[in-house]
Chain A
Amino acid sequence: MKLSEVKNILNAQVVVGEEFLEREVHSACGSDLMSDVLAFVKDQALLLTGLVNGQVIRTAEMMDIKAVVFVRGKKPTDEVTALANEYSMVVMTTDAPLYAACGKLYCEGLVPKERLD
């Protein structure tokens, strides 16, 4: 799924990385726990989180995650967006809560290959 589709589905605002919306993501991870992201995330994933701090961006960078969506209308600080900019990352915000945001993307076809069912 293209990030531009993610943006439309979540009715999200792009904070940084508008020029990278043609990027593809193959799976997504919804978590406020960065250590879980570091343990389990696969390639070309999108990170959705309600946690807003610089460590979210650093965690994403370590895992080669190129796009982060902040949920529940949370706005990143300038410091956070500057770091994302440095790593050429896309950052979006959506008013949807984490569960609903993940559910919408799943229903629209962002389903990882190794599904649980």
Chain B
Amino acid sequence: MAENSVKLHYNVDASDFTVAGQASGAVKKVLKQLGFSADVIRRVAVAMYECEINMVIHADGGEIDVEITPEKIRMIHKDRGPGIKDIEKAMQEGYSTADEKVRELGFGAGMGLPNMKRYTDEMNISTELEKGTVVDMTVLVK
């Protein structure tokens, strides 16, 4: 692994929706301090924020590992949620399994995974029903 890499770890607490986004906010701050371009920072922040929201509303929280190098930023989100039944459907804009309460909060419109895909260069999802989901995303610094 590159010597000049920064590794960050966050626990995502699902008990309070109002704090969802704290980890992405913290990573955004670190990337700013490290001098990444506004475009890279925004792409990482939005992808991570959407994923963090998903972890809170669907999966009872989880853990996020972020590795930052000058060439790329990799974010690995692991949850212990119910898993995704149909990934192909979940990737379609507008498809959602979120309940009314989540929609009232401004999310759950079926844009989460498509937004993550939109803003990242690589995205891999591995999911197992009743066990959890890992969303592994990378943003390349061009």
Q: Interface on A for B, CB 8 Å cutoff?
A: 32-36, 38-39, 49, 51, 53-56, 58-59, 61-64, 79
Taking a contact as CB atoms under 8 Å apart, the answer to whether A32 and B25 are in contact is no
Taking a contact as CB atoms under 8 Å apart, the answer to whether A39 and B49 are in contact is no
Known: A53-B18, A64-B42, A79-B18. A35 touches B25 (CB 8 A): no
A79 to chain B, nearest CB (A): 7
Contact with A along B16-28 (1 / 0, CB 8 A): 0110110011001
* 9 CB < 8 A contacts A-B: A35-B110, A35-B115, A38-B50, A51-B106, A55-B18, A55-B21, A55-B106, A61-B28, A79-B18
Known: A38-B50, A53-B18, A79-B18. A59 touches B106 (CB 8 A): yes
The one of A33, A39, A64, A79 that contacts B106, using a Cβ cutoff of 8 Å: A33
Using C-beta atoms within 8 Å of the partner chain, give the interface range for chain B: 20 to 34
Contact with A along B42-67 (1 / 0, CB 8 A): 10011001100100000000000000
Closest to A52 in B: B106
A49 to B106, CA, bound (A): 10
Q: Which B84-108 residues have a C-beta within 8 angstroms of A?
A: 105-107
Closest to A54 in B: B18
Interface of chain A: mostly helix, strand, loop or mixed = helix
Known: A53-B106, A59-B106. A36 touches B46 (CB 8 A): no
User: Which 6 residue pairs across A and B have the least CB separation, nearest first?
Assistant: A35-B111, A58-B21, A34-B106, A62-B45, A54-B18, A51-B106
A36 to B103, CA, bound (A): 12
Taking a contact as CB atoms under 8 Å apart, the answer to whether B49 and A38 are in contact is yes
Closest to A79 in B: B18
The one of A34, A61, A62, A64 that contacts B107, using a Cβ cutoff of 8 Å: A34
Given contact pairs A53-B105, A62-B21, a sample of 18 additional A-B residue pairs in the complex whose CB atoms are under 8 Å apart: A32-B106, A34-B106, A35-B109, A35-B115, A36-B109, A38-B49, A38-B111, A39-B115, A51-B106, A55-B17, A55-B20, A55-B105, A56-B106, A58-B21, A62-B28, A62-B46, A63-B42, A79-B18
Kindly state whether residue B38 has any CB partner on chain A within 8 Å.
Answer: yes
Kindly state whether residue B131 has any CB partner on chain A within 8 Å.
Answer: no
The one of B49, B110, B114, B118 that contacts A59, using a Cβ cutoff of 8 Å: B49
Closest to A37 in B: B106
A51 to B109, CA, bound (A): 14
